[in-house]
Structure 1
Amino acid sequence: PDGKTLATGSNDKTVRLWDAMTGQRKKTLRRPTDGFRAVVYSPDGKTLATGNWDGTARLWSAYSGRHKAALRGHTAVVHSVVYSPDGKMIATASADDTVRLWNAKTGKHIATFSGHTRSISAIAYSPDGGTIASGGFTAGRGTSQLWDARTGAHKTTLSEHVRDVFAVAYSPDGKIIATGGRDGKLRLSNAQTWEHVTTLTGHTSFIYAVAFSPIARTLATASRDKTARLWDAQSGKHITTLTGHTSSVLSIAYAPDGTTLATASVDATVRLWDPQTGKHIATFPKFQGLVLSIAYSPDAETLATGISSANNHAVWLWDVSTGKHIATFSGHASVIRSIAYSHDGTKIATGSEDKTVRLWDAKTGTHLATFSGHTEGVTSVAFSPDRNMLASSSDDGTILLWKIR
């Protein structure tokens, strides 16, 4: 942390410490039989934590190189290790499809995020920030898993879908969880009792996205059947179907003031709709590439779109009132699958097939940080309501939590 020493981990089964100014090697740490995969300093600079190919995480004295402890529990390579900002906890992510939390002082295992047996396609924070809901596939069925956002403890599994769950969303009051997926059905569950409330049918193919209106008891779904549908969240009644896209509708978002609804499609267009009437308002100019994700700014004035073509993967910002292109954020090396604004509108997070999450300044487009740790593409990103944490899900079957302030 003082910038004087650089640590590197290698498959040659060593961690080497180097003088950051001169490049001179200071010390070599040896231990795991299969080599190191990740290395990180504790916030106070006194300890090095490593993720290893033998499935362990290990703690070392940063000064003497002495091996202090082995954190055992993962059953496959540990790809990523991170300290909490206060240095009291360590989180490890492994190819065994789990994330584990540890006491950094004692090495004691605290909690494990596990449950999905295949890729996790979507995540959402509850409005109070206490729970993370994830959608994916477990034990032959599509499931939504609920987790304690602070401890990682698994709360329950909502295993109502026959096939993969691609979309999950909380109602603004936190009382309802909506899930949609490969079976084309939208299922509503009570977020407190976890009981199934109702199932909404009508789509003829996969449901890729779901969003609740911020001002009314309605919700919207986006589907592979080239349509979006509006529903009454209380009665489950189908209100209207939005038609016009010529290919799968992959993403859907309400403006924060609830006055417009945006949809993004494989047909390379973004369309704006009046959610009260279902009337088509405008179509943004056709993009040279796929539009896989969209998000409104909290003030409803800007729409962020993730656009991917053979040679370019970027976030484009648009003025909602004029349809004018405002800015482009570039940096990802592959398809951008998810976009989210922070609740104060100052930051944008993006998740990509390049296995990274990027954080951007929403006003200037400045790249603020890149979070690496997933071993497969990132499918979804979500800010915690308190703006301190960012959650990401991945095709590697894990959810990672990132401290952003």
Structure 2
Amino acid sequence: MVPPLQGPVVKRLRLGLDMELVETYRTHSARITCMRLFPLIDTPLYRSDAHRNEMALVTSSTDRTVRLCWKGQSRCYKGHSGPVTALADKLLDDGECKILATGGEDCTIRLWSMNTRAKKHPLISTLHGHEKTLSLLSVAWHKSSLLVSSSKDTKVKVWDTMAPPSSVSSSCVGGAHLNSSGPPIAIKCYESLCYIAAGSEVTAIDLRTMKKASVLALRNQRILSCEMLPSEWLICTGIKDKALLWDIRKPQELKHTVAELHSDGPVTLLHLDPYKVVMGAPWDGQVHVWETRTGHLVNRLSCDEPVKSGGRSTVSAMAVDGCRIVTAGSSSTRGSLLHYQDFLRSSVPVALPGKEVSKFWGSQEYDDED
């Protein structure tokens, strides 16, 4: 999923030999702030087993609304008194139905029922307790009714969403303060731990005790992006001139990094999976692919066609799905650009100087200009 740029419109594309515009969502009247994909079967738009494997799109916006969309159908959720700034990374489960959690500049968290019978009154409850804008929401791994929230003042709270609506004030079952030098930029729950990146630190909090389990600190280095793979004991942090890959089982010092992945600019775009790290800097016009296990650079991928354009390109957003990489950006000669690279059927090997032939091959590429 490519993060939203700066507008109210979402375009759904089918990527392949011919890039095809499938659908355009023009459901918001102001800038989109966050997007999530959830299984359609868990939403009120689900109608038939023929669509069991489909995904529904949820978007939040500064127009104070949340939209649930799928193939021409949509639901609008209104209740926030300010811009909606955060969507939970998963749907909560209260044992009977799925629940969507949203947060906003009004410092509240709203819980919305995904039950089809709650069409007219989907708002279950409003959680109060934060004093600043909500920045991130994550569902606990070990208990799917627990919601972790963080706000721009670096305060973290845990909520029991199964608490009776009449006792909303007691829904908060834990809290912590990160004491970091900046607002949270990433959050990930795994087992009973919650990892939060903020300022120059990645802090692991034990949700059972709300005590810090560990802190990964980068001295004098602000974290610009962060991806976490706690099931593989890995965290990747992007800073001003590199990305650092960490093994969270080892002492958190620079010498214990798995790898330093160098960049020609600030690493604000980052993807991490068990096989590869993909990272990009806005003004570089390229994304770099590294092997997760070894930290070896295996490919440099241009997000434009410099031979043809002769100009400079930038990268503003990136999404990676297996062997497919999509970037959004602009070119000095071609304007706004969506660039798609698919390695699934590639047959041309890439050999980097002084290294073995890469597992990432020369790709078929497709551009879509606005």
Q: Distance in 1 between matches of 2:220 and 2:263?
A: 14
Which residue number corresponds to residue 160 of structure 2? 190
Which residue number corresponds to residue 396 of structure 1? none
Shift of 1:368: 7.9
- The counterpart of 1:165, out of the listed 134, 139, 145, is 134
Is residue 232 from structure 1 mapped to residue 197 from structure 2 by the alignment? Answer: no
Change (3 A) 1:190 1:277: farther
3-state DSSP of counterpart to 1:229? strand
Q: Distance in 2 between matches of 1:227 and 1:186?
A: 15
CA contact (8 A) 1:92 1:99 kept: yes
Which residue number corresponds to residue 199 of structure 1? 175
Question: Which fold has the larger relative contact order, with Cα–Cα distance below 8 Å and residues 6 or more apart in sequence?
Answer: 1
Which residue number corresponds to residue 118 of structure 1? 83
3-state DSSP of counterpart to 2:262? coil
- The counterpart of 2:288, out of the listed 316, 329, 347, is 316
Q: What is the CA RMSD across the aligned residues, in angstroms?
A: 5.0
Q: Distance in 2 between matches of 1:159 and 1:113?
A: 18
Matched ranges for 1:3-42 at <5 A = none
CA contact (8 A) 2:276 2:289 kept: yes
Which residue number corresponds to residue 218 of structure 2? 244
Which residue number corresponds to residue 65 of structure 2? 98
Which residue number corresponds to residue 259 of structure 1? 233
3-state DSSP of counterpart to 1:289? coil
Q: Distance in 1 between matches of 2:197 and 2:203?
A: 7
Matched ranges for 1:321-340 at <5 A = 321-327=293-299, 328=301, 330=303, 334-336=315-317, 339=319
Shift of 1:260: 1.9
Deviations 1:201-222 (A, max 9, x none): 2323322221123xx4222111
Shift of 1:198: 0.8
Which residue number corresponds to residue 177 of structure 1? 147
Matched ranges for 1:217-228 at <5 A = 217-224=192-199, 226-228=200-202
Q: Which has the larger radius of gyration?
A: 1
Deviations 1:64-86 (A, max 9, x none): xxxxxxxxxx8x5899xxxx999
Is residue 269 from structure 1 mapped to residue 242 from structure 2 by the alignment? Answer: yes
Shift of 1:183: 0.7
3-state DSSP of counterpart to 2:75? strand
Change (3 A) 1:85 1:165: closer
Deviations 1:243-262 (A, max 9, x none): 23533224333326332222
Deviations 1:331-370 (A, max 9, x none): 695533x75x55xx46567788999998765756667898
3-state DSSP of counterpart to 1:288? coil
Q: Distance in 2 between matches of 1:95 and 1:186?
A: 23
Give unmatched runs, 5+ long, in structure 1.
1-36, 41-48, 58-73, 373-405
Deviations 1:223-243 (A, max 9, x none): 12x122122121111122212
Change (3 A) 1:360 1:122: farther
3-state DSSP of counterpart to 2:248? coil
Change (3 A) 1:164 1:99: closer
CA contact (8 A) 1:125 1:131 kept: no
Q: Which structure shows the bigger proportion of residues in helix conformation?
A: 2
CA contact (8 A) 1:124 1:132 kept: no
Which residue number corresponds to residue 188 of structure 2? 211
The TM-score normalised by the length of structure 1 is 0.54
3-state DSSP of counterpart to 1:240? strand
CA contact (8 A) 1:51 1:78 kept: no
CA contact (8 A) 2:60 2:87 kept: no
Deviations 1:163-220 (A, max 9, x none): 122222222242322222311112122244372121112323322221123xx42221
Q: Distance in 2 between matches of 1:351 and 1:119?
A: 24
CA contact (8 A) 1:240 1:278 kept: no
The TM-score normalised by the length of structure 2 is 0.58
Q: Distance in 1 between matches of 2:156 and 2:248?
A: 18
Q: Distance in 2 between matches of 1:325 and 1:362?
A: 16
Q: Distance in 1 between matches of 2:257 and 2:30?
A: 50
Change (3 A) 1:303 1:123: farther
